[in-house]
Amino acid sequence: MPKQENVNPFRPGAALWILCIMVFAGCAGPPVVPVSDLTAARSTDAVRIVRAGDSLYTISWEAGFDYREVALWNDLQPPYQLTVGQEIVLGPGSRSIQSGAVTQPVTPPTSELVVSEEPIASSDSTKETGETSGQAEGPVTAPSGDFWIWPARGKLLSRFAPEAGSNGIDIAGSDGSPIRAAAKGKVVYAGTGLRGYGLLIIIKHDETFLTAYAHNRAVKINEGDAVQGGQIIAEMGQSGADSVRLHFEIRRDGQPVDPLQYLPDS
């Protein structure tokens, strides 16, 4: 009988094979969405189908367009009511409405939306700013003639760097700490419909400026509410993030701009 060769499972080749198996097995877990994966570059899609929870503002924000442009391309008039299944053209051209679109009004999803039962608190001090690097007590003039203020207290975690995927700033804080409107305006969105933002609030300040407040734990306002600069609009949280923080953006004519160019300096 031929002699059977003993195989050493720990010879160099086998050890390398076992190591590769372990590495690939470790990579098989669920993907993690990075906090910086908030807003994509300007969309190249020609059409966007309206889903439940969408609004003109969120579709425009997601695609990187000014909401006024999108409204013009689709012959939409205020209050910009959309219907589930409707086609929204993302570019100049004739309006196209999907045949057989459901005529059900779009409403924000409420299953994940946590609304505080506390009364809305309107701050009398629009000069209260955070402890974030670069903050100061003096306000600066906003485009509407109001004052921009810092929306939260805390350490500045990240700065505006659109080339790196950061379209705003991130401010650290404690769970449940107040988030304030950076200037007076109207709430045009409150919900969880934008990927990577968690529980999000969008405020329209005038025809040019919008601000966004992401990763909230709870909101203290409703869509359509008028808010004052400094008014508490939410509680800080970590919805859609790996730590407690506020992600804050300013959009001018649909494009992200550096919030630190508008917020008070030290």
Residue 68 maps to a domain: yes
Q: How confident is the model at residue 6 (pLDDT cuts 50, 70, 90)?
A: low
CATH code, domain with 70: 3.10.350.10
Residue 131 maps to a domain: no
DSSP 68-135: HHHHHHTT--TT---BTT-EEE-SSS-----TT---PBP----SS--B--SPPPPPS-TT---SSTT-
- Whether the per-residue pLDDT at 7 is higher than 50: the answer is no
Looking at the structure, tell me whether residues 145 and 246 fall in a common domain: yes
Residue 150 maps to a domain: yes
Count CB atoms within 10 A of the CB of residue 208: 14
- Whether the per-residue pLDDT at 224 is higher than 80: the answer is yes
Average pLDDT over residues 21-44: 44
Average pLDDT over residues 65-88: 93
- Whether the per-residue pLDDT at 87 is higher than 80: the answer is yes
Looking at the structure, tell me whether residues 204 and 152 fall in a common domain: yes
Q: How confident is the model at residue 42 (pLDDT cuts 50, 70, 90)?
A: low
Stated pTM of the model: 0.67
Looking at the structure, tell me whether residues 257 and 145 fall in a common domain: yes
Residue 128 maps to a domain: no
47 alpha carbon, distance to own chain's centre: 21
Q: Print the domain residue range for 245.
A: 140-261
Residue 31 maps to a domain: no
Whether residue 89 contacts residue 95, with contact meaning beta carbons closer than 8 Å, is answered with: yes
pLDDT score recorded for residue 38? 52
**Separation of alpha carbons 91 and 43, rounded Å:** 9
| Most confidently modeled range among 1-5, 33-37, 118-122, 138-142 | 1-5
- Whether the per-residue pLDDT at 82 is higher than 90: the answer is yes
Residue 78 maps to a domain: yes
User: What proportion of the chain, given as a percentage, has pLDDT over 70?
Assistant: 63
Residue-wise pLDDT for 99-146, tens only, equals 333 334 444 443 344 444 343 333 333 333 344 433 333 334 455 445
- Least trusted range by pLDDT, from 72-81, 110-119, 228-237: 110-119
Looking at the structure, tell me whether residues 66 and 162 fall in a common domain: no
pLDDT score recorded for residue 120? 33
Count CB atoms within 10 A of the CB of residue 74: 22
Report which of residues 266 and 189 the model is more confident about. 189
Looking at the structure, tell me whether residues 96 and 181 fall in a common domain: no
Residue 151 maps to a domain: yes
- Whether the per-residue pLDDT at 202 is higher than 80: the answer is yes
Tell me which of 85, 107, 129 is where a domain ends.
Answer: 107
Looking at the structure, tell me whether residues 239 and 149 fall in a common domain: yes
Report which of residues 217 and 52 the model is more confident about. 217
- Whether the per-residue pLDDT at 216 is higher than 50: the answer is yes
User: What proportion of the chain, given as a percentage, has pLDDT over 90?
Assistant: 53
**Separation of alpha carbons 159 and 96, rounded Å:** 39
**Separation of alpha carbons 105 and 50, rounded Å:** 10
Report which of residues 181 and 55 the model is more confident about. 181
Cis before 264? omega within 30: no
Residue-wise pLDDT for 154-175, tens only, equals 999 999 998 888 899 999 999 9
**Separation of alpha carbons 144 and 90, rounded Å:** 28
Looking at the structure, tell me whether residues 204 and 163 fall in a common domain: yes
Looking at the structure, tell me whether residues 97 and 147 fall in a common domain: no
191 alpha carbon, distance to own chain's centre: 10
- Whether the per-residue pLDDT at 221 is higher than 70: the answer is yes
Looking at the structure, tell me whether residues 189 and 242 fall in a common domain: yes
CATH code, domain with 172: 2.70.70.10
Looking at the structure, tell me whether residues 95 and 177 fall in a common domain: no
pLDDT score recorded for residue 265? 79
Looking at the structure, tell me whether residues 152 and 80 fall in a common domain: no
Q: How many domains is the chain partitioned into structurally?
A: 2
Residue 58 maps to a domain: yes
Whether residue 235 contacts residue 220, with contact meaning beta carbons closer than 8 Å, is answered with: yes
**Separation of alpha carbons 179 and 120, rounded Å:** 12
DSSP 173-239: --TT-EEE-SSSEEEEEEES-STT--EEEEEE-SSSEEEEEEEEEEES--TT-EE-TT-EEEEEB-T
- The 3-state DSSP class for residue 17 equals helix
Average pLDDT over residues 48-52: 92
Report which of residues 4 and 51 the model is more confident about. 51
